[in-house]
Amino acid sequence: MYFLGERPEYTEQLFNRIRKISRHLFADIPEPDEIISLAEVEDLYQQYGSDSLYLVAAGTIQGSYEGNTVIVYEEGDLIGLTNCYDLPSLTLTSEDQVELKKYDATRLLRFVTETRERQSIWTSYLVSINAVLTESYSRDLKSQTHLSTGFLHFSKGEVIIREGDDANDVYTIMQGRADVFVEGIKVGEVLRDEIFGAMAVFTSSKRSASVIAAEDCTVLAVPKNEFVSLIQNHPETTMTLIENMARCIISLNTQLADHVEADPSNNII
């Protein structure tokens, strides 16, 4: 098993420990009640009930919560413990071919506790799983109590903001610079330390321009709600926004004047 997303090295050490214990614990397990081979799995518990445990024989199963995949079970992993005890459980799905060894829960639990040695290994297995889940939960909880800002990296020519898209984040160029385009025409640029993308966020409108990296860029992204909180708690950020918007207006006015000068027949009302 493994979690999606970046995790510290000691988390991988815990997963390696679980894999090692699993191989030892289930080395001489009896034949399964049934071998299930599926092209895809929409909801394992809904399809096969909650009174069974499963060993993944081939492929992977994703554990999801509220539509988000949080853990992936792979060959050798045991799944179904929480569900067979009527505890809150993840939704188990797979979009690929998967093979599962199905066991009656009572029969399998009797096997893992049959001898003192197996009881000891089973206890280590459960403690290790509890440790890795606790670690993951604590890290996720900690991340939810802080601004969920993130640094994004864009290569030259990559689109940072696309015209017409929904506006969910506000950005700051930390390194590099970017060009601003409206309907394919360059109308300005974004320089280092400048905030951009705020207007559409504040007005709840679609992005009015595309922003494309003019060189390799590092960009700080701040979600809408957290940016509003940042403005409220750090008023100096408002001044930076005003300065940026003023520079954009001056740039647009200059381009408009150049456009009219180049084609005097245009009448601007």
Residues 6 or more apart in contact with residue 154 via CB below 8 angstroms: 160, 176, 178, 213, 216, 217, 219
Could you tell me the residue ranges of all domains in the chain?
2-144, 150-262
DSSP of 81-142: HHHHTT---PEEEBSS-EEEEEEEHHHHHHHHTSSHHHHHHHHHHHHHHHHHHHHHHHHHHH
The domain covering 2-144 belongs, at the CATH homologous superfamily level, to Jelly Rolls (2.60.120.10)
Residues 186-230: tens digit of each pLDDT? 988 888 878 888 878 777 889 989 999 999 998 888 887 776 665
- Of 36-40, 119-123, 246-250, where does mean pLDDT reach its minimum? 246-250
> Across residues 26-53, what is the average pLDDT?
84
Q: Which CATH number does 150-262 carry?
A: 2.60.120.10
- Of 56-65, 86-95, 162-171, 178-187, where does mean pLDDT reach its minimum? 86-95
Model pTM score: 0.50
Give yes or no for residue 138 having a pLDDT over 70.
Answer: no
Task: Give the pLDDT confidence score for residue 160 in this predicted structure.
Answer: 94
